[in-house]
Amino acid sequence: MTAIPPPGENFIALYKPKGPTSHDVVDAVRKATGERTVGHAGTLDPLARGILVVAIGRAATRQLKTIVGSEKEYIADIRLGASSTTDDAEGTTTMFPPSAIPDRDAVVNALQKFVGTIEQTPPAYSAVKIRGAPAHRRMRRGETIELKSRAVTIQKIELLSYAWPDLRIRVTTGPGVYIRALARDIGAALGTAGYLADLERTRVGAYTSKMAVPLDRITAALSSRARVASAR
């Protein structure tokens, strides 16, 4: 197995705030360094925050597949009793009250159904390509789409707190898992609906939240280093 590249000058664990896209972060690093070949390992939606591993330079970006395929950890807040067109707080929500509010034992049992290798259908508003175009683009055009389920692996789900309608979990996953889709499916398993209200990615492989640097701080440092290098 190929070793995951350690943190260093060419691999940076940035802490992405809510708001910017992952592409926005890559653009900011490009501008700060003057290096055009910059990539990231694993997209975070604009409403999500947390670790985004960025590779700088051609040699580093070639190793991104190793990091993309590594284990990831998230803290997810799920709002039960309602669905969302985007499966997160960005979409239009519709109330979907259950016949009975599930108790804690029901929640624990439902969560365990998603541990292991499962079939998961990606959110309609996602980057999954259909006939060459991302699903989210086709949805915004008003097209009707149908995404196929695919096998993904969830290593662990830990219940952190639950008080209807709010559920907080810690999730450890393999590559390709949509936490938005997991929130949706957990709601369905509880006889209601659910969507992702908040998400923080706390680990990507060997990169943990303890080593993540805020985006503004790292871009300022990179800009300063680039200016010093160009003045030599």
Q: Which residues contact 216 (CB under 8 A, 6 or more apart)?
A: none
- 8 A C-beta contact, residue 123 and residue 86: yes
| Active-site entry in 45, 87, 88, 185 | 45
Cα distance from N-terminal residue to C-terminal residue, the chain = 40
In this structure, are strands 194-204 and 82-84 parallel, antiparallel, or unpaired?
unpaired
Could you confirm whether 27 is annotated as catalytic? no
Q: Is 160 exposed, middle or buried (0-12, 13-18, 19+ CB in 10 A)?
A: exposed
Q: Which two three-digit tokens encode residue 32? A: 């700060």
Catalytic residues: 45
